[in-house]
Amino acid sequence: MIKHFLTLSLLFTSWAQAEKPVPDVADAFEVEPGIIISAQPTTEDMEVLKEYGIKAVINSRTDAEMDLLDFNEQRWWHTADVGYSQVAIGSDEPYSVAKLTAFNEAMEAAREQAGDQPILLHCRSGHRSSQLYAAWLVKYKNHTPNEAFAKVAPKDRLLHPMEKLLNQKLMVRFADEATTTEESH
């Protein structure tokens, strides 16, 4: 009986979370159930996100960027009992395979910390976090590049400048696929 009640309780909690709209803070948007990407949240935004149910955060800003804030984000989340990790990308911390590996490790830890509750990915604008998440979907979740970009680009959020200039969607694929296709013609 208790086991049945706990199972129903867990299902209801997951369903209720899925029905709850993402808070209108820091340009936050839900990439897929339980994964939210945003710009740098303020302390007020963080309070709203905590109340929403965020249980883990992965920040893609550098230490130098974080030092410019008037609050210590890591300490704030820690005090709120929310898991926090940083996979910094910036001028001294370029995109790399090592960064994607670190992001995968952070995602695994965040999922363990959050359980079925939402995870927040953020940087200054949401762009770096979106790129990391898209690459993670390709490498670790077997999505195609186009599928991954479609998930992180709602409302043309990451529309490539060339698409805007040409007023036409671009298709992304791996170079070896393009070479194989071109060679077969």
pLDDT at residue 6, as a whole number: 41
Query: Does 6 fall in a domain?
Result: no
Query: Does 122 fall in a domain?
Result: yes
Q: Are 59 and 80 in contact (CB under 8 A)?
A: no
Q: Quick one: how far is CA 82 from the chain centroid?
A: 16
The pLDDT tens digits of the residues spanning 107-149 come to 999 999 999 999 999 999 999 999 999 999 999 999 998 888 8
Domain count, the chain: 1
The pLDDT tens digits of the residues spanning 10-24 come to 444 444 455 789 999
Listing DSSP states for 131-143 in one string gives HHHHHHHHHHH--
Alpha carbons 106 and 26: distance in angstroms, whole number: 22
Alpha carbons 35 and 32: distance in angstroms, whole number: 6
Q: What is the CATH number of the domain that holds 74?
A: 3.90.190.10
The pLDDT tens digits of the residues spanning 61-72 come to 999 999 999 999
User: CB atoms < 10 A from the CB of 24, how many?
Assistant: 10
Mean pLDDT of the chain: 85
Alpha carbons 33 and 17: distance in angstroms, whole number: 9
Query: Does 65 fall in a domain?
Result: yes
Query: Does 179 fall in a domain?
Result: no
CA distances from 5 to 14, 110, 127 (A): 14, 27, 41
Can you give the residue range of the structural domain that contains 46? Answer: 22-156
Q: How long is the chain?
A: 185
Under 8 Å CB-to-CB from 56, ≥6 apart: which residues? 82, 83, 84, 85, 109, 110, 111, 113, 114, 117, 119, 120
Query: Does 165 fall in a domain?
Result: no
CA distances from 117 to 8, 50, 62, 82 (A): 16, 11, 26, 11
Place of tokens 């993402």: 22
